Every structure is written in C-alpha cells, then in structure tokens.
Chains A and B, each alone.
Chain A
C-alpha cells in the first residue's frame, strides 16, 4: 500500500505496523504530530496499545521503561529540549537493556529558541548506549522504524530513530507501507527474557556493587558491537522480504573517486544530485552516506574511504571547542590506517539551526575539498555570515 505521508506520519504508521504495545509521550514541536497520529490510531482501534499521557519527557521515557521492564514493546518520540530532559533515563533504558524505540525529530538546541533542524540534540546522547539511525527519506523512516524494533529486541538495547525537523517531519512523500501480515512475519511479538514476572519476583536495577558494575558495562558494549552485525543482518532480511535495504553506510558513485563527501540524513539527497552533476562533468567525486552513528561502522567507513585522496565531511552539528562530530568519529576511525591509504580529511559545518543545505553548499564543500589550498583541514564554516 502506498500513501502520501509526512515523515512524522510515517513514523506513526511504522510504529503501528510494528504493533507497539505501550506509547508514553509528551508533545514538542516538531515531534507533536507523531504522537497525535498515534493517539488517533489507538483511539480508532487501529493500534491496540496503551497510550499514556504524561507530564514531561522524563515521565514519558520513565513510562516506557516501566512498560518495557514488564515485557511490552514500547515507543516514544521527542525533540531537542525534550530529549535533553530525558537524559537521565536515556542511560537507564540502555543499561537496563530495554529495547525501547524512540523517534527523535532532530531540532537544534535552545537558546535562542528554535524549532528547526540540526543534529546536536541526538548527538549529545552519543555515549548513552543507544543505537542511532539517521534517515534520508520518509521511505527510509518507515523501513527503519520497523527494523528498529527487531534490532532492539535482538540486542536488547534501545534505538533512536532520527529524522530531520521539517525537511522530513513535515514534508510529504509517497511511502510504501508494508502490509501488516508481512510485517508480522518479519517482526514477531516481543518476548522479553528479563522482565517483571509475578511468578518469579525479582528486583530490578538495584544497588550494584563495585564487584559487578563494570561487567554490566562490558555486556552493554558487547551488545553494541553485536548490533553492527545484527543491523546488517536485519537490513538484509528486510530487503529480501520488502525489496529495500539501506546498509549501515551507503557509498554512492565512489568508484575511483578523487574526493568523497560524507553526509548524513536529508543533506544526502541534495548531495546525490550534486555528485551526479559533477560526475556528468567528468569529475571523479563520490558520496558516502552514514546512516548508523551508533554503533559506529568503523570498518565500513575505513573500507569506503581507504585510498581516497581527499574526503570532505559535512557536519550539521558542532562540538564546540572541537569541531564536527561525524568528522571526529571518522578521523578516529582512520587514525591507524597506513599513511599511503589515509585520505586528507576536511571538516565542514553547515545547516545549523535549520539553515538550508543547498546544492551550492555541497558544491562549495566539494570545491574546498578538491582544491584545499585555502581550506582548513580541521574545521570550515560554510555560509557563515562573517
């Protein structure tokens, strides 16, 4: 079935297809229409779930944690300050090994007060032990939503499904919605191993001594590593059943490339067009889309960039005092590569607070990467009003 859906509606429909059982959420622009649509779907009986209205994002995630601990498939959604308010429980969900799926509609952090997109809200949660998938299109949102529950439930870690504010959340596209029975085959009901069980009562999340805490961290980290292969496998499986795969990263026209631009999320679509234009002109340039930020696909990135002379990394985020966050991750991944294969890497910051990333933005980055005479290696601000 195809429908014209906004990115937010797509999230809701994906969650419905995944048959989430408990949804606890608090509204915040630009996320609001996700939970409005879910509330409608629950109200209309299309989704059999408990929809819990709560008084804050902190409570929303707490509600999900309780429900997940009881063995329910749970979902919540938020943005920016809402995600920040959840932070304490973001850790809790992961160390509690609860496979909650959260849709974060990327919104820049205030102040100044803003509702437009950039990635600092979700990237601030880098070290919380959540998987993070950045989506390029509404179709990818749909497919990733369904995959997210499966991956989460296998590795027993929570997943953040990330989409750009407005560029996806409020933009409508034709989306292929998998049939419910097909999704049911792909994603069977959730069976939690470690859950509240009245016949076998036990205490959860209790005081953990110095003799054992580090071991829980080890297990969490190992699960994150396992998630790399699980994500790959689930994506392949999904592709077999529904005909679409995304990979953890996606190289686009990278054959014999002199230079590669690395992008994430909706900026990728714009970059594809620009790469096509450069290739049509006979220029050897390519594109690497990073879809999975956590766990970081280090090997896949190394493989894609190995031997490429120049790499420009577009970051729609900023780690103040260091630079782009994806650039930081990629540089760290390349550090121990043999020098002759290791590319020159240039960092670019663009599109913060929802500023458009246009074909001109991409052109400028490609130009500055291919002709780096006046380019800073570490950090370049694009379209800065200086």
Chain B
C-alpha cells in the first residue's frame, strides 16, 4: 500500500491477520515522534578530572581488551610520563568515578602505572605528528612541565633545546619525590623516550649564570619557562638562621643525588604538604626520628591523602595545630630544642581554610637536634629580564601559558602553582599547542578541548544517575600490595608493587566507560522499530523515518552515550 488509501471491498482483499499492506511507507512510525534520540558521547569523570587531559576512558577500554601497548600509546599522546604519574599523581581522575556506587572508585592510577610498566623493556619508536620544521624553541627547566612541552613540540617537528640547571633532568620528579614513591630508573626511561624525539638537553646550565635569558630568546623562535619552585620559605621563627635549620627540598635533593648530608637524630619537620611528608619519611628511612608539626588540622593538610595515611602507618607522629616559635641552639650553634605553641582554627582566610590562631600560654618544648622546613616554596625568577611580567609567586600567564611577551611562554609551578606532576604535564602540553599556533601565526585551539581531549564528545560529565546500573555487577576496588612496615621504613624500596595482569583485568572490567560507546549493541537490540542500524565503519545510525522517539535506546544505554531531546 502506498500513500493512497486502499478501499477494501472484501475480506479477500486483506491478509489473514492485521498487518500493514505491502511496505510500511504509509505507516512511518516516526510520524508520532515527539522526542528524538541522538548519539552523543559525553565526558567520563576520569577524563574531565585528568589535569594532563589524557583520554582515560579510552586507555581503560583498551586495557580491558588486553591492548596494553595501544593503551600506553594513548596516554603517551598527552603525557610522556605514564609510569611516573601512575605512581605519584594524586589521581584526580578517580575523584568522581561513578564506580563509587558499585564497589568503589576504579583504581585508575594503578592501571596507568601498569600500562607504563608492562612494556618497560620495549623501545618505542618516536611518532612524529608533523614534518620537521626550521623553527626551534628553548625550554627553561627540565621538570614535568618543560619536558612535556618539549615532547609535544618535538613531536610537531620543532627543534627543541631544554636548559637545566641541575646535573640530571626531571626537576622535582628527580629531586623532590623520593625513590620509595618513584624509582628513578622509571623516570629516566620516560625522559629517554622524550629525548629520542630529538630534544637537546643542556644540563648544568643555569640561566643567568652559564647563559642569559636574552641569549635564549635570541637563539629560539619561542621560549617556555618552567623552572618550578625551588626556593624554600623561611621558617619565620626565632633561631631560623641556625645551621641545622634546613629546607626540605634541599634535604630531598641531596638524598636524591646521594650527596653528603648530615642529619640529626630527632628531627622536627615543619609543614603539612608533600615536601614535609617526603622529607619526614625519607629521614625515617635513614635512621632518624622525624616528628611533624603542622599549624592547622588534618583536613587542611595539602599533602596527598594516601601519603598522609602511609606516613601515619609508618609511625611518624604529627602534632596538628602546632607552630614552632623559637629554635634553641647551644653554644656550638647546635639545636637542642624547639619551642612550639598550640593553635586553634579561627575565621576562614583568603585560601578558604580556617586561619590558625595561637592559644596564649600553650607554649611547650620539643626535643630536637634538627629542623626541616617545608612550609611552602617559591620560584626563583631572578634570571628573567624585567620585561617579563611576574610576581613573587610566579610568572603572569593566561590560560594558554602566554606571558606579556609574544614569544615567551611560562608554565608549571613557576607560573600556575598547581603543584602536581600531572598538572605540570598538562600545562606543558597545552602551552606547546599555543606555541605551535603562535609559530604558525594561528589562534591557539580551544583551551577546554585541549585540556580534556573532548574532541567528538560533549563536555557534559556523566553522573551516576545517567548510568544504567542493571548492566554492571558490583565489584570491589582492588588495592595495591605494600611492603611490610618494619621492612619498608629501613630503605628506599618502592612501597607499593604494581598490579598483576589479572588484577588489571579485574579492575578494568569494572570500568563502565561512562558516556563512551564501546558498541555494545543495546540500542540496536532494544529498538522496537528496528530503527537503529550499525555502521560498517563503527557506530550506529538512527533511521528517523521510523524512530518514534520512545527513548528505550536511551534508557537501555548502560553508559549514557545516547541523549534524547524533546521536539
């Protein structure tokens, strides 16, 4: 029956049961549609959470299928440090993981670490995204931001020279993070891969000393400044000039370089950030008795939560709400005790945290023969020329890492102060794309898109309510195995071992691929009008002549990769 109406004169003109005559052309079920489904891949919370902009949901999916090398390369696309970040990143990717409601958040960082480690012995050939160019950039500082920027620029065919003041590359990854969290051969291997892209590395080259900032600007078409935070803030207490009051970052650097260092026996570590924790746990492993004093409470501690737990497990005492007032030395200038005062939390300060206020008369003495300060670090920007706008806390940049000078870019902690390796890596990449655009005379790509690898996906973060939990079994989050406490506090062996393949597959099988279509065919199977067909080259097409907008495909999509709009 075509569009014309058929006049049925006899029962002989009809089929034996009620059925449309001939084709369905007169009965296009779409005619009563008042809502329209459409495929819309959305952003998984892990993807939006990753400061490096890594396509987390994609590498998890690849790992599910045992495609570890592809998964590794997926991370390498945005982050040359998967094995490093898998170990040291505080994994903001996991914070909003929807698996929270079904056995606990996915242990994403352990999967990233596995992907970074599993092919450790395999030498990857560098993959260049663009042809070689005759332009070059100079990168000041071989930390995570600088190396990330160098890597992304080298992949795009630019000549890259990295200038590093220290004798080894890696920045804080090398001299700030102890071996028990990040074995240095892991870091070296990942840096070597960056250098394989033709990146030139000039070590022991401090700007302002061996070479001037003007020299570098003259030498290169653009400069990226990422020198980190390597000046420790003063203790701000009487006696701070004593010889054995040492900055935490100096202690960590000396330990990392295996330089001579004379440590006390009872060491007071001042501060609540990662430097304080790393310093305390490091000196514990060298036979000392560290004790942490922190002027606020545990909730305000800026250090990574798991690191705080590990430190407490290792038996290091923390005095919360405690402030050192005076360091007492003897006649030889050796520390004998530290006078502290108890604090209470008052009104919130500029950081939003409650301001600690001294409790009068609560002073007390702590036995100590050494004080390690870790109450914050500042950048040393003395090498910059005065035409680069900067404040004491860092270089002034926009969202693309652009300074007031068109050819000068800055990032990492010395500009953003975000404070993690992964943030620095993300910033290095983001700015590399801005530098690339600058050198091509183009506008830089959309910040948000770069930051979250959202090409082809909407920025909408998939929430738990959008997941169809019927399709997922509850399963527990796996935790890595740690060394026994009595053993681990005596050396710098890595505390946590990586996941086995079996553990990785358990963990990846828990991934719900929020917002991302792995082609499970549910929409196709459930469509009552057979209006969904699978494309030969992947994905699906909805036939809007027959889709009546019932929304079953949307309801049965386990992971919200389909949306519906009311017409």
Interface residues of A (CB under 8 A from B): 95-98, 156, 193-194, 198, 200-206, 208, 211-212, 215-216, 218-219, 223
Contact = CB atoms under 8 A, between A and B. Distances in A.
Contacts of A202: 19-24, 27
Nearest to A216: B18
User: Which secondary structure characterizes the binding site on chain B?
Assistant: loop
B15 A194 contact: yes
A324 B455 CA distance: 75
A204 B18 contact: yes
Contacts of A211: 8
A97 B17 CA distance: 6
Contacts of B261: none
A156 B24 contact: no
Interface centre among B8, B16, B22, B29 (most CB of A within 10 A): B16
A206 B20 contact: yes
Contacts of B17: 95-98, 194, 204-205, 216
A219 B27 CA distance: 24
B530 interface: yes
Given A201-B530, A215-B11, A218-B11, A156 B16 contact: yes
Given A200-B23, A201-B23, A203-B24, A208 B11 contact: no
Contacts, number: 60
Interface in B1-32: 8, 10-11, 14-24, 27, 29
Contacts of B24: 201-203
A203 B16 contact: no
A216 B17 CA distance: 6
A170 B29 CA distance: 49
Nearest to A92: B17
Interface of B: 8, 10-11, 14-24, 27, 29, 530
B560 to A, nearest CB: 27
A97 B14 contact: no
B16 A223 contact: yes
B470 to A, nearest CB: 15
Given A198-B530, A200-B23, A201-B24, A206 B18 contact: yes
A203 B15 CA distance: 12
A323 B21 CA distance: 45
A215 B22 CA distance: 19
B531 to A, nearest CB: 10
Given A95-B18, A194-B19, A205-B18, 6 more contacts: A95-B17, A200-B23, A202-B24, A203-B24, A205-B17, A215-B8
A202 B16 CA distance: 14
A219 B10 CA distance: 11
A205 B8 contact: no
A206 B16 contact: no
Of all A-B residue pairs in the complex, the 9 with the closest CB atoms, nearest first, are: A215-B11, A97-B17, A202-B20, A203-B20, A97-B16, A208-B18, A201-B24, A203-B27, A204-B19
Contacts of B21: 202
A363 B449 CA distance: 93
A156 B16 CA distance: 9
Given A201-B530, A203-B27, A203-B29, A219 B20 contact: no
7 contacts: A97-B16, A201-B23, A202-B19, A202-B20, A203-B29, A204-B18, A216-B14
Contacts of B10: 215
Contacts of B15: 194
A212 B16 contact: no
Nearest to A94: B17
Contacts of A212: 8, 14
Interface centre among A200, A216, A218 (most CB of B within 10 A): A216
Nearest to A218: B11
Interface centre among A203, A208, A215, A223 (most CB of B within 10 A): A203
A84 B49 CA distance: 56
A206 B17 CA distance: 10
Contacts of A198: 530
A74 B222 CA distance: 75
Contacts of A193: 16
Nearest to B21: A202
A219 B22 contact: no
Nearest to B27: A203
A193 B10 CA distance: 20
Contacts of A205: 17-19
A198 B18 CA distance: 18
Interface centre among A96, A201, A206 (most CB of B within 10 A): A201
Contacts of B8: 211-212, 215
Contacts of A194: 15-17, 19
Contacts of A208: 18
Contacts of A223: 16
Nearest to A205: B18
A96 B16 CA distance: 8
Nearest to A200: B23
Nearest to A217: B11
A218 B8 CA distance: 15
A204 B21 CA distance: 10
Contacts of A200: 22-23
Contacts of A204: 17-20
